[in-house]
Amino acid sequence: MIVARQEYTVASGKADEALAWLREVRDWESYRLIYPRGCQITALSFGRLHKVVVEAEYASLQEYLACLRSATRQREYGAWRCRGDGLCVHVYSSYRHVNGSGEEPGWAPALG
């Protein structure tokens, strides 16, 4: 199993707007395609730096990449991506493998 993580660094004062945007797109087909098992959304602040973090579980890296491919074929994905680009200063994607023993190696940059 892997956990994929996207960290959206948002401009000062835009964290609430970014969270509202993610709540809005939860009903979109492309969102459901990317996160078929749902996801966890959290907001973090470090002084003036604000991040919105989205984490989701997948059976494998191949499943994660297949979900991304199918979502990007949806017409609404362009609107989702455009709106996110307007709110975010930086986006970082990574993933980690999770094994049955509870041992979790560090995060690796995402390929997608």
Which of 59, 19, 63 is CA-nearest to residue 41?
19
Q: What's the whole-model pTM score? A: 0.76
Domain chopping of the chain, boundaries: 2-96
Taking the C-alpha atoms of residue 88 and residue 66, their distance in angstroms, rounded to an integer, is 25
Q: Which tokens go with 50?
A: 């604000």
Burial of 59 (0-12, 13-18, 19+ CB in 10 A): exposed
Taking the C-alpha atoms of residue 95 and residue 52, their distance in angstroms, rounded to an integer, is 16
CATH topology of domain 2-96: Alpha-Beta Plaits (3.30.70)
Tens of pLDDT, residue by residue over 15-30, are 788 888 877 777 788 8
Tens of pLDDT, residue by residue over 39-60, are 898 888 888 788 888 899 999 9
